[in-house]
Each structure stands twice: as C-alpha cells, then as structure tokens.
Structure 1
C-alpha cells in the first residue's frame, strides 16, 4: 500500500496526518515517529480532488501544489477574498502567537476555533460576529487602526513557542488588543460584539516545557529519514526531539505529496535541517 501524505489536519481539535484516499493517522504527543521519504514529490490536488496532472512539485515549496491546483484552491478561499456571497455567519478573532505577535482575522462561525488551530494561535479571543462582508470590512479597519499585520511569519511563530510567557501574561496581551479593538468606532454598527474571553491552546498544542529550538527542516528528499519523539504540534508544525537530542521543527506543508514508508526504530534524522541562529526569522490501519 502506498502512503502519500497530504498534510496535517486539526479535525476534532486534535492533530492528525492526512493521506491520499482520506485516511488520517492520529498524532499523539510522546509517540515516536520514524519514516523514510520515497520517490518524487507530486501535487496532492486541491479541495479534496486529486491533481489531474499528478504533477511533480519542488521539495522546498510549502504550498506543495502545481499552479493549476493552487489556483483552484485559491478560487474557493475566504482568506484570499475570492468569496463574497457566503450567507453563513462569520466571526472576527484576535489571535496571539507570541509576545508582540498578534493579528486580526475572520473565520466561518461553524468552524469554531479550527482556523486558529491551523494557524498555530497560542491564545485568542472572539471579537464580533455577523455577515461575511461586514466581518471582512471590520478585519481591514482594525488592521489599520491597531497597526497589526494580516499575517505573522511562521519562522517567528515557531521560535516564540519555545519561550512562552505565563498564561496570565498571554491573556492580558489579548485582552489589551480586545480593549483597543472595541474602542475603534463604526464596526459595531454592522457586527454584533462578543464579550472578551481568553482561549489558550498551549495544552492542545503540547507546548508546556518545550525545549529550545535547534533547527527547522529545510525540505524532504528521496531517501531522507525523519525520526524522533513528537513533543508538540501547532498549526502546520511538528516539534520533534531527534535521536541526537536536538529539538527540531518540521513544517508539514513540506510533506504534502511525498510517499512515506516506516523507518526502523534506530533510524537517524537525515533530512536537511537549517540550524537556528538565535535570530527569529485498508489492511493497514496506520503508518505509525
């Protein structure tokens, strides 16, 4: 049986590796992962559909899709501002990824906090709810008024997880952003404000006691091995304790489209790694 991975998912509020064909391998903190990369990386498709070209994609591409499938995925993306007539209610959120790293975003109310888990938000609060276009306008107004970016670089998110302040400090920073957002005039005329409540994902992500980050996987390559104990998962990232004692991060967006095979218990970690410089920048039920 060929196991071609699609990436990580957060179904039911827990991480799992998704495979072509719909299978999901649950990821459990403390478990040992050991797999070998095989062959060439091929586009995993988009919106649940296989790539019609079965195209080869570069190893370092975090998107992991061919141009045609990337366009299809973007054509159905609220985040890409390509949908304007979705009738379901949306929520505006305030997300915190680390000290000084916050953003404003929107998500469909029916998705709950799935979008926050996918982005690796360590803490967040809801701000308001209402129609899509009103939520989108509020998002843009608040970005400008509060001086927050529309996205936070994954490299910065990753490094921040290894030296988080106490839960109370995290909540206070989110609350301060909430207070400033409520003071911005106009948006409450089109959205229903929601009371402040700090939500924290440290436990869900397994970030308590995470050791210093030593490096990040640069890419997967044919014959390369990833091996180690799973310490944490946040957004698309897996934080692993390698056999040689290094704490390494693997962005699972680099995994999409590769075939993986189990590796031996004593396997070494052999895929290319970028060392951290200190500057933030059916028969078979499962593979593991």
Structure 2
C-alpha cells in the first residue's frame, strides 16, 4: 500500500476484489497528466484459503490517506477529467462516468440483449434477511461474495430476460426484496445463528419459490444446494463492531489487524486501550492514494456508530 515517490506514478486504490475466492485491495497506476498507467497489484487482506473452504485472517494493515479522492473511471478506462469525488460516496465515480457505466448495466436494465446465460439466486444475510437477485452464470459465486451473502442457493438458470422475470416473480411471491442495505447486514453479522439454521431458512424459501405459478418456461429450475460463506468471511467468533468508518480524509490513518472480510466490509481490530473492531467499507477506499502506515497507529478518520446504536464519533484515539 505504498505511493511511488516524486517523479514516479502513484498507485490509487481501485477497491476490493474477491478474485479466486479470497479478498484483496486492487490498485491502478496513475501516470502524470491523468493518462492511464495500467492495472497494478493486489494487496491480500488474508493469508489465503485453508481447509474446508475457510479463509485465514489476521494480517496487520496500516495506511495513511494522501491528497484528493479521484474518479476511478469506467470499466478499466480512466476518467478523462480526473474528477474529484466526495469522501462519503460509496461509488467512486463522477456523474459522467457513472452514467456511462450504467449505459451497459444489467442492474439498470440497459443490457437486455446480453446473450450470456444468467442465474437466479436466493441470498441470506441474517434471520429474515433474504434477497433475490441475478448474476451472470460464468461469474460463479463472485457476486454473492461481493454482496457479503452469508449463505445462498441458486434457483434457476437461463436467458437474461427470463431470469429478470423470475426475479420479479420471486419478489412478489415470496415477499423478499432485491436489495438489503449494508448497514443492516453489519448490524447482525457478529450474532448469526448456526449453519444448520441458515441453511434451513434458505431451503424453505427455495421450496416455496419453485412452486410459484408463472415460472418462466425458458428458465431451468436448479435444485437447492446451500453454499455457506461464514468460513470464507471469517465470521465464526467475530466480535461486534464498535464503529464504521464514515469517510476517509487526507492525512487520516487506518491501522490494525484484519479479522474478517464480508462483501466490501473489512473488519479491522484496532489496538489500544478501549479499542475494538472497526468496519472499513472498501467502497470508500476506492479512488484514494494510500501510503504505508504503522500497523499500530489506530484509526484517525471519522467513524460513526453501527446502525441501531447511539452516538457518533468523529475519530478514534
């Protein structure tokens, strides 16, 4: 997590990646004058996958925020304006790049002609917190890892528009949303029921889903096979968070030991008396230049309370 020195290009954060089923921070090199410098390395946030599909955590991290947050561009193409982006924005794009991004987006229904097969899924985040969604079949479970789904099962496979119709059918028929906020996901993450209870809720909804009238003929039903990500995310024994980073600011620091990563959320155990686990939403990190910092330096950026808890802190320690 180092910025190259004067006269050399900088490495700017491009957010979190779940490539290969393990989390890491992606970097993009920025050449002088705003031209693209190319993709950089990935800084691992774990020690990699272990036995039984678990991921080993415990890495020490430490970085200091430098300069201004800049737009990350569109699909690997740099922002021509190198526009400044607000620190609290979870999308590290300027308005124009965001519009271009959505012009070819499944989520925005602007890719109806995509010929690739899609999968419909049920994703579980906590008791009573289940959503339905679609993902490109060749992405496997990547979309579910990115969303922080603790457990999930596929429901069907087929053409995009059939998958979209099925998604709408399930939302109405099961009474489940297509979106759950990260604030709600964080609030329950450290107090989840066991794997058997998680799987039972997914199986029950799957059984109800495949019996609904109006299932699109072009969509093949997929039998229930629950995949659990608690071991991948490091949720077993996870301590509740004392706060969530609200935004990064120039000169601010984030440092500690990574104890879990779920979706874009990096759970960092901060050292020092009275400290605890602070959640860093990696979407807020994208677009910043970061310098290497002391792993024992704590957190000096604005922090807010976890949803449902009183109080707001402007910084720790």
* TM-score with structure 1 setting the length: 0.94
Q: Would you say 1:156 and 2:148 are equivalent positions? A: no
Counting only pairs closer than 5 Å after superposition, residues 101-112 of structure 1 correspond to structure 2 as 101-112=129-140
Give the 3 Å change call, closer, same or farther, for CA 265–248 of structure 1 in structure 2: closer
**Aligned match of 1:276 in 306, 309, 314?**
306
Check whether the contact 2:62–2:294 (CA below 8 A) recurs between aligned residues. Answer: yes
| CA distance in structure 1 between the aligned counterparts of 2:155 and 2:223, rounded to whole angstroms | 7
Indicate the RMSD between aligned Cα atoms, in angstroms.
1.3
1:238 to 262, 266, 276: 266
User: Among residues 10, 23, 39, which one is paired with 1:15 in the alignment?
Assistant: 23
Instruction: Choose the corresponding residue for 1:5, options 13, 19, 30.
Output: 13
Inter-partner Cα distance in structure 2 for 1:39 and 1:132: 42
Is contact 1:3-1:261 (8 Å) kept? no
Q: Partners in 2 of 1:79 and 1:265 — Cα distance?
A: 38
Q: Secondary structure at the match of 2:190?
A: helix
Counterpart pick for 1:59 among 61, 83, 87? 87
Structure 1 residue 137 and structure 2 residue 165: aligned? yes
1:172 corresponds to: 200
1:187 alignment partner, SS class: coil
Displacement of 1:188 after TM fit? 5.0
Rounded to whole Å, the distance in 2 between the matches of 1:218 and 1:88 is 38
Task: Name the structure, 1 or 2, with higher relative contact order (CA <8 Å, separation 6+).
Answer: 1
Give the CA deviation at 1:193. Answer: 0.5
In the alignment of these two chains, the number of paired residues is 280
Tell me the secondary structure at the aligned position of residue 20 of structure 2.
helix
> Helix, strand or coil for the counterpart of 1:170?
helix
**Match of 2:65, SS?**
strand
SS for the counterpart of 2:100 is helix
Counterpart for residue 235 of structure 2: 207
The offset of 1:279, in angstroms, is 4.6
- Which residue number in structure 1 is paired with residue 292 of structure 2? 262
Q: Is the 8 A contact 1:243 1:269 kept in 2?
A: no
Q: 1:240-268 deviations in whole A, cap 9, x for unaligned?
A: 10113311101011011100001124313
1:176 Cα offset (Å): 1.0
- Unaligned 5+ segments in structure 1 are 281-288
Q: Distance in 2 between matches of 1:39 and 1:107?
A: 36
Instruction: Give the secondary structure class of the aligned counterpart of 2:15.
Output: strand
Partner SS for 1:165: coil
Q: Which moved more, 1:71-80 or 1:269-278?
A: 269-278
Counterpart residue number, 1:49: 77
Q: Tell me which residue corresponds to 1:26.
A: 44
Distance in 1, Cα, partners of 2:167 & 2:190: 29
Q: Is the 8 A contact 2:153 2:224 kept in 1?
A: yes
Compute the displacement of 1:91 (Å): 0.6
Of 173, 185, 197 in structure 1, the residue corresponding to residue 225 of structure 2 is 197
Q: Distance in 2 between matches of 1:73 and 1:278?
A: 33
The structural deviation recorded for 1:189 is 2.1
| Structure 1 position 78 matched with structure 2 position 130 | no
Structure 2 CA distance for aligned equivalents of residues 72 and 202 of structure 1: 35
**1:194-239: per-residue Cα shift (whole Å, max 9, x none)?**
1111100011111111001111000000000001100111111101
Distance 2:115 2:225 in 1: 26
Quote the Cα distance in structure 1 between the aligned partners of 2:295 and 2:287: 24
